[in-house]
Amino acid sequence: MEGPVPELGARADRCAAALREAGEVLLASHIDADGLTSAGVAAQALSRAGIEFEATFAKQLDGEVLASIAASEYETVLFTDFGSGQLDLIAEYEREGAFTPVICDHHRPAEAETACHLNPLLEGIDGASELSGAGASYVLARALENGHDNRDLAALAVVGAVGDMQASDGELHGANAGIVEEAVDVGVVDAGTDLALYGTQTRPLPKLLEYTGDLGIPGISNDAAGTIRFLDGLDLDLKGDDGWRCWVDLGREERRQVVSGLLRHAITRGVPSEKIETLVGTTYTLSEEDAGTELRDASEFSTLLNATARYDRADVGLAVCLGDRDGALSAARKLLGEHRRNLSAGVRLVEETGVTHEEHVQWFDAGTKIPDTIVGIVAGMAMGSGGISYGKPIVAFAAKSDEETKVSTRGTRGLVGRGLDLSAAVGEAARAVGGDGGGHDVAAGATIPTGSEREFVTRLDDLVGEQLG
């Protein structure tokens, strides 16, 4: 197969052949934005290839979920955005003849083998920063082409990569860049340089600038009145008939003047240059979506999707990925409102209660006060707040059940550059206390027995210390 990631061509071809031979499959996927877009890409590719499927979603691919899959009527199962980390368990079911697995993932693989395993890590491509789960699904979709080259599905792959924080250093690169190129070539994505703030499509200008807490711009970040004073001082007509305009509503010259004013303001107030540089970056616009909507911008689209499955409505997120712009989109927007309220409440809770600092990590235990499905997002958002450092990985605990605790961890690209690998450290620490986990070098999760949190933190702190030298 020729495509954006030729290194994965042979693996993609084997996976595509197995799916065609099956004729019908169970499509099992993760629930975050990358998982939903992975399923969206795979579902459309399967449908176009004439392969019948049923979709199911899970927060975590554990023994219970795998047992349920094995008990289903499907002889072939396509796993997207998870499966590699559970390959040892999956391989057992394959040997027993329960089902034939086709795995399309980008997480660290377990020590086992199967014939149909598409994962960038197996070909030396970084699955944490160069190819997302949706990107891996897109590679499979290109191999599944049946009178349609499926390049239009690259837009969803871009959304998945952005949602998986693979553009955290300003733009998508590596194998992701090849997918972006194909998306641009077929006109489904515009990649350009613009103000790199979340909400350019939907947030009124004052809110767009006010919610820049991670940049720490005095007189603007987290300062509603200061933001209004800044905008009023630009001598521009930034209000419309219905109030403040959004960034997307501004003309090129208006945008230039706002950015210039913002840069001057940040520089004169001592904002570090490395933060100022992040104000402008590469943005990914979905050309075929309506301007001024959450679906137009890859970052806002991914957040909308995150708000669906994390509240047990993966069906809504998948329907949006498959093109439903009526009932599903309306339901997703309602869930997004709830999601934002819960995230804000979670961040406030962490800021008020603070974190406990170990030598190499920092942590907090939310108990039942923050849902386990969003505690990792809250942890990432809280980094940089008062008392919460960017210089250490953050560990968040939340009650998953009476017997199990969910662990979510977040690091930074700077820490990864120094040797941090949360996937390896979290997995080892979790197994040491009777749990299991994994993920990426910059973000990982686990499930551990309730009551083992202190032991887990101690073990993780040692492992991170060893990684960071």
* Residues shown for the chain: 469
> Which 8-state DSSP code applies to residue 259?
H
**160 and 207 within one domain:** no
Among candidates 158, 124, 120, 21, which has minimal Cα distance to 78? Answer: 21
Q: What is the pLDDT of residue 2?
A: 65
CATH number at residue 418: 3.10.310.40
DSSP 320-345: HHTT--SHHHHHHHHHHHHHHHHHHH
Distance CA 156, CA 150 (A): 11
Q: Work out the mean pLDDT of the chain and round it to a whole number.
A: 94
Residue ending a domain, choose from 318, 343, 368? 343
Residues 380 and 462 in one domain: yes
CA distances from 84 to 18, 105, 110, 233, 306 (A): 17, 6, 6, 54, 22
- Helix, strand, or coil (residue 14): helix
Question: What residues have CB less than 8 Å from 399, skipping those under 6 apart?
Answer: 366, 367, 368, 372, 405, 406, 450
- Please tell me what DSSP assigns to residue 184: H
Contact between residue 409 and residue 445 where contact means Cβ atoms under 8 Å apart: yes
What is the C-alpha to C-alpha distance for residues 136 and 114, in angstroms, rounded to an integer? 17
Q: 168 and 26, same structural domain?
A: yes
348 within domain boundaries: no
Helices (H) and strands (E) in the chain, counts: 18, 15
Cα angle at 353 between 350 and 354, to 5 degrees?
70
Q: Do residues 324 and 217 both lie within one domain?
A: yes
Tell me if 461 is assigned to some domain.
Answer: yes
Q: What is the CATH number of the domain that holds 69?
A: 3.90.1640.30
128 plus 202 within the same structural domain: no
Cβ atoms < 10 Å from Cβ of 184: 17
430 to 361, 408, 463: CA distances (angstroms): 15, 11, 12
Which two structure tokens, joined as six digits, stand for 259?
A: 């950015």
**Rounded average pLDDT over 20-37:** 96
What are the structure tokens assigned to 218, written together?
Answer: 């005095």
- Listed residues 127, 160, 186: the one ending a domain: 186
Task: Show the beta-strand stretches assigned E in 31-168.
Answer: 52-58, 76-80, 100-104, 117-118
Q: How much is the average pLDDT of 212-236? A: 90
Domain annotation covers residue 131: yes
413 and 453: one domain? Answer: yes
Q: Residues 79, 82, 87, CA angle at the centre, nearest 5°?
A: 80
How do residues 155-210 score in pLDDT, each as one tens digit? 999 999 999 989 977 899 999 999 999 999 999 999 999 999 999 999 999 999 99
Residue pair 80/40 in contact by the 8 Å Cβ criterion: no
Q: Are strands 404-410 and 100-104 parallel, antiparallel or unpaired?
A: unpaired
Asked if residue 165 and residue 257 are part of one domain, the reply reads: no
- What is the model's pLDDT at position 317? 97
Q: Does 111 reside within a domain? A: yes
Distance CA 37, CA 27 (A): 13
In this prediction the pTM is 0.87
Model confidence band, residue 146 (pLDDT cutoffs 50, 70, 90): confident
Tell me the per-residue pLDDT of 377-431, one tens digit each, with 9 for 90 and over.
899 888 866 668 888 999 999 999 999 999 999 998 789 989 999 999 999 999 9
Count of domains in the chain?
A: 3
Same domain, 290 and 271: yes
Give me the phi and psi of 268, to 5 degrees please: -70, -20
* 22-37 mean pLDDT: 96
Please report, as a single letter, which amino acid is at residue 84: S
Mark whether 85 and 220 lie in a shared domain.
no
Is residue 349 assigned to a domain?
no
Query: Which has the closest alpha carbon to 38: 87, 104, 117?
Result: 104
pLDDT > 90 fraction of the chain, expressed in percent and rounded: 83
Is residue 1 in some structural domain?
Answer: no
At 242, the amino acid letter reads D
- Residue 324 and residue 363 in one domain: no
Burial class (CB in 10 A: 0-12, 13-18, 19+), 235: exposed
- Whether 247 and 278 share a structural domain: yes
Which of these three, 186, 214, 232, is where a domain ends? 186
- What's the pLDDT at 442? 87
Per DSSP bridges, beta strands 404-410 and 394-399 are antiparallel
Name the β-bridge partners of 30: 58
Q: Which helix (H) or strand (E) holds 42?
A: helix 33-48
Starting at the edge strand found earlier in the chain, the sheet holding 24-30 runs 52-58, 24-30, 76-80, 100-104, 117-118
At 170 the pLDDT is 83
pLDDT digits (tens, 9 = 90+) for 343-359: 989 999 998 999 999 99
Q: Distance between CA atoms of 411 and 405, rounded to whole angstroms?
A: 20
* Inside any domain, residue 156: yes
| Mean pLDDT of all residues in 447-460 | 97
Residue-number span of the structural domain to which 398 is assigned: 354-467
**Hey, what amino acid is at 188?**
V
> Distance between CA 418 and CA 467 in Å, rounded?
8
Which run of H or E residues covers position 283?
strand 280-286
Q: In this model, does residue 1 exceed pLDDT 60?
A: no
What percentage of the chain exceeds 70 in pLDDT?
Answer: 98
Examine residue 145 and state whether it is found in any structural domain, yes or no.
yes
* 29, 38 contact by CB (below 8 A): yes
- Domain identity same for 211 and 137: no
